[in-house]
Amino acid sequence: MYISQIFILSPRGDKIVFKDYRQDVPRNADEAFFRKVKFWNDERAGHPAVPGDCPPFFVEKNVAFAFVRKNGLLIAAASKTWEVSPCMQVEVLTRLSKLLKDFLGTLTEESVRKNFTLVYELLDEVIDSGVVQEFSTERLRPYIFNECIAVTTPALEAPKESLISRIKKGEFSSSTRKSTATNISVIKGSQERKNEIYIDVIERLNVLFNAAGNVVTAEVDGSIIMKSFLAGTPDLYLGLNEDLVVGRDNRNRYATVILDAVNFHESADYSKFENERCIVMRPPDGEFTVMNYRVTSEFQQPFRIVPSIELISTYKAELTLRVRADIPQTTQGINVFIKVPVPKVTTSVSTELGVGATDQKAEYRAGEKYVYWMIPKFKGGTEQVVKIGIATGAPFTPQIRKEIGPITMNFEVPNHNVTGMNIKYLRLEERSQSYNPQRWVRNITQAASYVTRIM
């Protein structure tokens, strides 16, 4: 399989990086690609598609395109139709995005623009004349000579506030720190001779609630993600819960963590996993996933929304949302974001936050027909309320009422995992008494698809 072009576009369609390997597709293929993605329309459906509904690969004017979205960027590949595997293209782009994140520290538009020479150097190494060569951060590191220009992301910029006010807000507390993985380039890490290793146990929730607040479907996609800046190549021993069980058929009354399925990194030795729940490996440089796991058994939902609608008059209704945080009082959700669709015939919307609401914001965006409710910090064991008044230009019929919802929720809960998965120990091969790397372990729960029906 040959890849003819690789290009990276901004969310606006600006061409940030463009590499033409084979000169067998038009030079302006990126323009045709962006037009198709932005104005995607499935002719078989007979109506315009939802924005962002474009499939990850398609054919346009005898050119096969594939792309992935990362932080708003479009990382795309173009090839001749008859010599391309769509799945292979997507796999190449996914690995390329991970490689760029390792070398740039963070994959954003600003980091790519500031380090475009480094990006082109990487593209020359990973693909030669359209043929894929290498995507290992560890093996590519000795052949990359451009320096990385560090980029400060907005989330990491220090606010223009006094130190005391920042401490009061909990900015320096581990329980409120944002869970983005360490934004350090492997180039900078090796230059500074860092001897650190970071491990994130991330659980992404896919949950659907009915109007009464009861769970319809629930699933956890978990990952143990590691980023290594270790000196040398020591053996690493990662121990998990002793009472962990894999497979529904293996359940017993002593198990507290029950996983439906697991898979491991290619370099992991899991021969001790069955009896000792231990994973042995020599961690490669950069960021990688040690283990993925899936859980569909019952677990405690971190947040629960209870909606209620009251008809005020023929043209007015009031939607009340009560959100309860069923997480320990010692932790809190951060960056909680709730989105509520309203009917297309809505003429105006009013919002009223509950008593004692601080640092919260609820706003209506008329162009999108959505109400957004933002809660920067949501303490465990508490409840928040918002009342949304909806005025329509047509009588409030049952059909119009169905256009309210479903409600979607995004959040992040540091230092908390719903499945109980934990890192019991992280031991490195001791070559000498002075070899004592820094170890950082974090537990994070995030919302992947957290939806509540109203009807």
- 210 contacts 167 by C-beta, under 8 angstroms: no
pTM: 0.73
- 243 contacts 255 by C-beta, under 8 angstroms: yes
What are the extents of the domains in the chain? 5-143, 186-299+420-452, 303-414
* Tens digit of each residue's pLDDT (9 = 90 or more) over 311-367: 999 999 999 999 999 999 999 999 999 999 999 999 999 999 988 788 899 999 998
Give the confidence band of 252 by pLDDT, cuts at 50, 70, 90.
low
CA distance 289 to 292: 7
- Residue entry with tokens 């000795």: 142
Give the N- to C-terminal CA distance of the chain in Å, as an integer. 49
The pLDDT of residue 181 is 43
Instruction: Pick from 38-52, 237-251, 392-406 the range whose average pLDDT is largest.
Output: 392-406
Q: What is the CATH number of domain 303-414?
A: 2.60.40.1170
Residue 99 burial (10 A CB sphere; 0-12, 13-18, 19+)? buried
The pLDDT of residue 167 is 44
186-299+420-452 with 303-414: one CATH topology?
A: yes
For residues 244-271, give the mean pLDDT.
81
Q: CATH number of the domain at 186-299+420-452, out of 3.40.718.10, 3.30.450.20, 2.60.40.1170, 3.30.428.10?
A: 2.60.40.1170
- Asked whether the predicted pLDDT for residue 393 surpasses 80, the reply is yes
Give the confidence band of 231 by pLDDT, cuts at 50, 70, 90.
confident
Q: How far is residue 282 from each of residues 11, 237, 270, 318, measured CA to CA in Å? A: 38, 9, 12, 58
The pLDDT of residue 43 is 54
Q: HSE (CB half, 13 Å, CA atoms) of 177?
A: 11
* β-pair partners for 371: 340, 364
Q: How far is residue 145 from each of residues 19, 110, 118, 121, 140, measured CA to CA in Å? A: 19, 20, 8, 8, 10
For residues 103-116, give the mean pLDDT.
90
Domain 5-143 belongs in CATH node 3.30.450.60: yes
CA distance 274 to 98: 30
In eight-state DSSP terms, residue 417 is -
- Asked whether the predicted pLDDT for residue 222 surpasses 90, the reply is yes
Rg (CA), the chain: 25
**Three state DSSP letters for 80-97:** EHHHCCHHHHHHHHHHHH
For residues 61-73, give the mean pLDDT.
89
* Tens digit of each residue's pLDDT (9 = 90 or more) over 146-197: 888 877 654 433 334 444 444 444 444 444 444 444 567 777 655 555 678 8
